[in-house]
Amino acid sequence: MAVQWNDLQMNPISKVKLLHEDNEKMWVLSPEEEVRLLEECHKRPQKRVYLRDLVELAIYTGMRLDETFGLRWSHVHLEEKYLYVAETKNHQARNVPMNETVEKILRRRNVTELGDYVFENAGGNRLTVLTNAFWRAVKEVNLYRREMVDGRMVKVRFRFHDCRHTFGSRLGMNGADLKTIMEIMGHKTPKMAMRYQHPSPSHKLEAVRSLDKTGKIFTPKVTPQKIVNL
């Protein structure tokens, strides 16, 4: 920025080799964890009930938090089965296909919400921050785990952004190709979408277990041969 503002002629650290940033760590919800989280979100007291719908929409669209906050009813195309995401991180709008789960959420909210935005606060205005009720729900269902960070074990909790990771990983595990994942999730480069090509541990386990069945089907029978003396 100093170079752009003409305060410096050149970036003094432009040739410094940067440390590798490990941004691959993410939390993919299991079906059981998803059920427990959504049920707890539904229990959270709010002046305007929206938390469960907000979280479930993120899990089934992969939209970022700000993208979800910025979703207007004019961007919802129920008949054509897609959402128009206008406010994106890379400033490039995209269409997100709508499955049955998302359609049910939106049709339900379309009856109760009368403002411009799909999700609004108690005053009928656009949401700007994630309610603390989400973090209380995460705590209540104990969505915590221990990870190695900077050489030491720390306790981490499930984040709202992990709803997006869950969506992308499920697409990858269900066989979606890299280009499809990129376009739906709004990635500019394949590198960002590649993380969703690495299945979860349980998915890998099921993959190798499938070989047990294959071996049982195709294992040939060995018949002892008579030795004939010539």
CA distance 163 to 29: 8
Report the relative pairing of strands 94-97 and 144-149 from DSSP bridges: unpaired
Q: How confident is the model at residue 19 (pLDDT cuts 50, 70, 90)?
A: low
The pLDDT of residue 194 is: 87
SS3 call for 170: helix
- What is the C-alpha to C-alpha distance for residues 195 and 29, in angstroms, rounded to an integer? 15
Ordered by where they begin, the domains of the chain are 31-158 (1.10.443.10)
Please say whether the beta carbons of 178 and 197 come within 8 A.
yes
Q: Averaged over 117-130, what is the pLDDT?
A: 89
Q: Show Cβ contacts of residue 204 under 8 Å, excluding neighbours closer than 6 positions.
A: none
Strands (E), the chain: 76-77, 82-85, 94-97, 144-149, 152-157
CA-to-CA distance for 140 and 137, rounded, in angstroms?
Answer: 5
pLDDT tens digits, 26-83? 889 999 999 999 999 999 877 667 999 999 999 999 999 999 999 999 999 999 999 9
Mean pLDDT of the region 3-22 = 77
Q: Are 178 and 193 in contact (CB under 8 A)?
A: yes
Q: What pLDDT, on a 0 to 100 scale, did the predictor assign at position 223?
A: 64
Asked if pLDDT for residue 172 goes beyond 60, the answer is: yes
3-state secondary structure of 28: coil
pLDDT the model gives residue 107: 94
Per-residue pLDDT, 47:
60
3-state SS, residue 197: helix
Q: How many CB atoms lie within 10 A of CB 37?
A: 23
pLDDT of residue 203: 77
**Per-residue confidence (pLDDT) for residue 144, from 0 to 100:** 95
Instruction: Using DSSP, state whether 157 is helix, strand or coil.
Output: strand
Return the pLDDT at 95.
96
pLDDT at 21 over 80: no
Please report which confidence band the pLDDT of residue 127 belongs to, taking 50, 70 and 90 as the band edges: very high
pLDDT at residue 113, as a whole number: 64
Name the percent of the chain lying above pLDDT 70: 87
- Residue scoring higher pLDDT (15 or 161): 161
Residue among 108, 79, 77 nearest 95 (CA) = 77
Examine the pLDDT at 218 and tell me if it is beyond 70. Answer: no
* Res. 3 pLDDT band, cuts 50 70 90: confident
Cβ atoms of 108 and 50 closer than 8 Å: no
Q: How far apart are CA 63 and CA 184, in angstroms?
A: 9
The whole model's pTM is what? 0.77
Q: Is 175 left (phi over 0), alpha (psi -120 to 50) or beta?
A: left
Least confident stretch, 37-41, 186-190, 226-230:
226-230
Q: How confident is the model at residue 130, as a pLDDT?
A: 93
